[in-house]
Amino acid sequence: MRYTPAGLPALNLRLEHESEVLEAGGKRVVKVVVKAVAFGTLAERLAKQALGSVWRFNGFLANARQGKTVVFHIQEFLQD
């Protein structure tokens, strides 16, 4: 947990996803790791969750400050 210069709680985290999809008639395992961030009371709630637990997240993608990577901004999360 960190705090913005304005005193707003912020949490930087990494989301990991793994699933199986059909592609070209065969099964394919899809894995991805995405940088994410949450602010305010949402960040405080997320900080209390167990590492490795399964959740469903809603939010939006934006360029990181350096513009070279993508960050998922979490706006809501629910236990899956």
Sheet holding 26-39, edge to edge: 2-3, 9-23, 26-39, 70-79, 55-63
pLDDT tens for each residue of 36-69: 999 999 999 999 999 889 999 999 999 988 888 9
Secondary structure element (H or E) that encloses residue 23, with its range: strand 9-23
Domain range summary for the chain, segments of one domain joined by +: 2-79
pTM of the model: 0.85
Q: Under CATH, what is the fold of the domain 2-79?
A: OB fold (Dihydrolipoamide Acetyltransferase, E2P) (2.40.50)
